[in-house]
Amino acid sequence: MNPLEIGDDCLVLAQRLAEWVTRAPTLEEDVALANLSLDLLGQARALLSRAGNEDELAYLRGPAQFRNCLLTEQPNGDFARTIVRHLLYAGFLYEMYRAHPEDEVAAKGVKEIAYHRDYAALWTRRLGLGTEESHRRMTAALEALWPFTGELFAADPGLREPWSAFVETTLAESGLAVPGEAPQRDGGRRGEHTPHLGELLAEMQALHREHAGATW
Partner 1 sequence: MVTPEEARALAAAVPDPELPVLTLGDLGIVREVRQDPGGALEVVITPTYSGCPAMDAIRDDIRKALPGARVVTVLSPPWSTDWITDEGRRKLREHGLSPPRRTDGPVALTLGVRCPRCGSPRTRLVSRYGSTACKAMYACRECLEPFDHFKEI
Distance in Å, CB of 195 to partner 1, minimum? 28
Distance in Å, CB of 144 to partner 1, minimum? 26
| Span near partner 1 by CB under 8 A; candidates 56-64, 115-123, 160-168, 191-199 | 115-123
Over the range 36-55, which residues count as b (16 or more CB within 10 Å of their CB) and which as e? bbebbbbbbbbbbeebeebe
Which C-beta is closer to partner 1: that of 59 or that of 115? 115
Under the criterion CB under 8 A, does residue 115 sit at the interface with partner 1?
A: yes
| Span near partner 1 by CB under 8 A; candidates 25-33, 82-90, 132-140, 192-200 | 25-33
Distance in Å, CB of 147 to partner 1, minimum? 30
Report the C-alpha gap between 14 and 8 in whole angstroms.
10
Under the criterion CB under 8 A, does residue 105 sit at the interface with partner 1?
A: yes
Which C-beta is closer to partner 1: that of 23 or that of 111? 111
Which C-beta is closer to partner 1: that of 45 or that of 81? 45
Residue 135 in contact with residue 175, Cβ under 8 Å?
yes
Of residues 5, 8, 9, 39, which one binds partner 1 by CB under 8 A?
Answer: 39
Of residues 1, 2, 19, 38, which one binds partner 1 by CB under 8 A?
Answer: 38
Report the C-alpha gap between 198 and 36 in whole angstroms.
22
Of residues 79, 119, 153, 163, which one binds partner 1 by CB under 8 A?
Answer: 119
Of residues 4, 6, 13, 36, which one binds partner 1 by CB under 8 A?
Answer: 36
| Span near partner 1 by CB under 8 A; candidates 26-34, 73-81, 129-137, 193-201 | 26-34
Under the criterion CB under 8 A, does residue 42 sit at the interface with partner 1?
A: yes
The DSSP code sequence of the chain is: --HHHHHHHHHHHHHHHHTTTTTSSSHHHHHHHHHHHHHHHHHHHHHHHHHS-HHHHHHS--GGG----HHHHS---SHHHHHHHHHHHHHHHHHHHHT-TTSHHHHHHHHHHHHHHHHHHHHHHHHHSS-HHHHHHHHHHHHHHGGGSGGGGSS-GGGHHHHHHHHHHHHHHTT-PPP--------GGGT---HHHHHHHHHHHHHHHHSTT---
Question: Which residues are near partner 1 by CB under 8 A?
Answer: 28-29, 31-32, 35-36, 38-43, 45-46, 104-105, 107-109, 111-112, 115, 118-119, 122
